[in-house]
């Protein structure tokens, strides 16, 4: 079907895909969150299940506290060769650079990093030619020969075809041998509304490349299409011989200029070939995705579900499910979500309309539930046992917008994301976020309802999307359960 929905919703940008037999695997960027690089599996390209994260150990992923949001892990490429998965990625934390990881099972464990200091820039790609030589191509676009087992490069990176003359940000290169040609797929136009996908072909991995006369082969710029910012694509041939493209895009909402709040999501489209060039069809989505199901966690397991992500690290001294069995225990480090070392663990917001609830015990501290985009843009509802308060942080302005006396522990806190009230006009935001408490009978009482546009990329900047999660602002906070479910508008 073609309902304009992503196959992997929420903040899952920069998809890279590979097939092994009848199994398909996708990885995405994770930026400032730990663990890094979510890994998904599918048998039909439509229904995807998260099977883990590639970077789960501190020795694999170091994200310093002075690293800004939207830095960290950029644009992985996933490939399979001779029974082994190869993952090359950029860590944009200072002094990290490009590195390679390997695994025999994409669910993990993955190896320690193999540094590749001779690979410049970001968005690295790996491809092997007929004689087994491996080439690494990066944004820009340039290429260098590499030994992926050691990270050693040979020679000086050389420039390649870089898209339309004058087009900004040629990036996300991927090379493929298809038939008699080598194809170089890139994104260009910037990752905003001008984003697009273009392609060229040549006789070898190094070119020379001739561009497709129909470039860009994918873009929704200057259209009224509900899905925008289409780019950063990867191609895969299915087991039945058909071709498909995964790519990132956004679903802006509200009035002008439109605000996207879930970040850049992963979409799918069929590809046909005409005169040796790919033609991208309409967005394809499943009737019902596993991501549409409600999520419930009682924190009974010794380890968190792989969909939980934490800010910059997940030190057991600050985040654990074993200290009090049946609870997630957070020990505060930063004093609020404004601090880069805040203790925060959450899950990506996957739906345009949804709600989340958590049962929290703040008898030993202060903490609560938050909708986060970055340190300067988040809405929180927290308690210190004496008072429940709603906090709004937008840019340089931090304000307590509502309070009420704090009831006895445990306390059920909630957020609810719904469409804005009618009537709508060009200034209407994409949604509203209600933050409040839930009574024992299930009744939700909102303490404040805030405009969702301020937790959007168009306002906050950066490359991520909303994450709904749990945090400790002081002392020790225990969370006994967490639920998330989509809502029908």
pLDDT per residue, tens digit, the chain (489 aa), is 347 899 999 999 999 999 999 999 999 999 999 999 999 999 999 999 999 999 999 999 999 999 999 999 999 999 999 999 999 999 998 888 999 999 999 999 999 999 999 999 999 999 999 999 999 999 999 999 999 999 999 999 999 999 999 899 999 999 999 999 999 999 999 999 999 999 999 999 999 999 999 999 999 999 999 999 999 999 999 999 999 999 999 999 999 999 999 999 999 999 999 999 999 999 998 876 655 679 999 999 999 999 999 999 999 999 999 999 999 999 999 889 999 999 999 999 999 999 999 999 999 999 999 999 999 999 999 999 999 999 999 999 999 999 999 876 789 999 999 999 988 999 999 999 999 999 888 899 999 999 999 999 999 999 999 999 999 999 999 999 999 999 987
Gap between the Cα atoms of 121 and 140, Å rounded: 8
**What backbone torsions phi and psi does residue 226 show, to the nearest 5 degrees?**
-70, -15
Q: How far is it, in rounded angstroms, from Cα 175 to Cα 145? A: 13
Is 455 strand, coil or helix? Answer: helix
- Residue 434, CB half-sphere, CA atoms under 13 Å: how many? 17
293-486 topology per CATH? Jelly Rolls (2.60.120)
Region of 83 on the Ramachandran plot (φ > 0 left; ψ -120 to 50 alpha; else beta): left
DSSP annotation of 457 = H
Residues annotated as catalytic are 14, 171
Question: Peptide bond before 141: cis, by omega within 30 degrees of 0?
Answer: yes
Show me where the domains of the chain are located.
16-280, 293-486
What residue ranges in 21-120 does DSSP mark as E strands?
A: 23-27, 33-34, 36-42, 49-55, 73-81, 84-91, 97-103, 114-115
Residues sharing a CB contact under 8 Å with residue 487, sequence separation 6 or more, in sequence order:
351, 353, 354, 355, 416, 417, 418
Helix/strand/coil for 264 = coil
Residue 406 pLDDT: 81
User: How far from chain centre, in Å, is Cα 117?
Assistant: 25
CATH homologous superfamily, domain 16-280: Glycosyl hydrolase domain; family 43 (2.115.10.20)
Angle at 259 between CA 258 and CA 261, to 5 degrees: 155
For residue 238, count CB atoms less than 10 angstroms from its CB and return exposed for 0-12, middle for 13-18, buried for 19 or more: middle
**Which residue carries 């508008």 as its tokens?**
489
Cβ(201)–Cβ(210) under 8 Å? yes
481 Cβ contact list (under 8 Å, min separation 6): 296, 297, 298, 299, 357, 358, 359
Strands (E), 165-314: 171-178, 181-188, 196-202, 210-211, 228-237, 243-250, 265-274, 277-280, 295-297, 309-311
Residue 195 backbone phi and psi in degrees, to 5: -60, 145
| CB 276, CB 181: distance < 8 Å | yes
Q: Rounded to whole angstroms, how far apart are CA atoms 286 and 270?
A: 13
SS3 373: strand
pLDDT at 1: 37
HSE value, Cβ hemisphere, 13 Å, CA-based, for 481: 11
Give backbone dihedrals phi and psi of 160, rounded to 5 degrees, phi first: -130, -175
pLDDT at 289: 61
Q: Which residues pair with 119 in a beta bridge?
A: none
Check residue 2 and give its pLDDT.
47
**What pLDDT, on a 0 to 100 scale, did the predictor assign at position 408?**
66
Cβ-in-10-Å burial (0-12, 13-18, 19+) of 158 comes to exposed
């Amino acid at each position: 079907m073609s309902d304009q929905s992503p196959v992997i919703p929420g903040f899952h940008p920069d998809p890279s895909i590979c097939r092994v037999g009848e199994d398909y695997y996708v990885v995405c960027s994770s930026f400032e969150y730990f663990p890094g690089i979510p890994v998904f599996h599918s048998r039909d390209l439509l229904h995807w299940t998260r099977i883990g994260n590639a970077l789960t150990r501190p020795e694999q992923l170091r994200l310093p506290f002075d690293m800004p949001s939207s830095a960290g892990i950029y644009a992985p490429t996933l490939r399979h060769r001779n029974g082994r998965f190869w993952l090359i990625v950029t860590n944009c934390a200072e002094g990290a650079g490009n590195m390679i990881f390997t695994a025999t099972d994409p669910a993990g464990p993955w190896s320690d990093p193999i540094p590749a200091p001779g690979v410049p820039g970001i968005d690295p790609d790996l491809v092997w030619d007929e004689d087994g030589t491996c080439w690494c191509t990066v944004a820009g676009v340039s290429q260098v020969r590499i030994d992926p087992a050691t990270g050693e490069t040979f020679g000086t990176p050389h420039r390649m075809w870089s898209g339309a003359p004058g087009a900004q940000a040629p990036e996300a290169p991927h090379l493929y041998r298809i038939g008699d040609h080598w194809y170089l797929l890139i994104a260009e136009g910037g990752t905003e509304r001008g984003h697009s996908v273009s392609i060229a072909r040549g006789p070898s991995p190094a070119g020379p490349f001739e561009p497709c006369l129909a470039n860009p082969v994918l873009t929704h710029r200057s259209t009224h299409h509900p899905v925008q910012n289409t780019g950063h694509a990867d191609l895969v041939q299915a087991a039945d011989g058909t071709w498909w493209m995964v790519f990132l895009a956004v679903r802006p909402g509200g009035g002008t200029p439109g605000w996207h709040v879930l970040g850049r999501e992963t979409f799918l489209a069929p590809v046909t070939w005409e005169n040796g060039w790919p033609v991208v069809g309409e967005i394809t989505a499943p009737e019902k995705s596993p991501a549409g199901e409600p999520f419930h966690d009682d924190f009974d397991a010794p380890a968190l579900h792989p969909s939980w992500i934490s800010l910059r690290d997940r030190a057991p001294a600050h985040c654990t499910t074993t200290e009090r069995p049946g609870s997630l225990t957070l020990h505060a480090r930063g004093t609020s979500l404004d601090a880069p070392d805040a203790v925060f663990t959450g899950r990506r917001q996957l739906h345009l309309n949804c709600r989340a609830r958590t049962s929290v015990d703040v008898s030993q501290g202060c903490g609560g539930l938050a909708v986060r985009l970055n340190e300067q843009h988040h809405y929180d509802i927290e308690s210190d046992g004496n008072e429940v308060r709603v906090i709004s942080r937008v840019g340089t302005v931090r304000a307590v917008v509502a309070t009420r006396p704090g009831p006895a522990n445990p306390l059920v806190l909630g957020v609810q994301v719904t469409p804005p009230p009618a009537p709508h006009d060009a200034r209407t935001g994409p949604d509203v976020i209600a933050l409040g408490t839930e009574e024992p009978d299930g009744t939700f009482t909102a303490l404040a309802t805030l405009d969702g546009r301020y937790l959007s990329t168009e306002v906050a900047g950066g490359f991520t999307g909303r994450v709904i999660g749990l945090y400790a602002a002081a002392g020790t906070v225990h969370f006994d359960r967490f639920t998330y479910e989509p809502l029908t508008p």
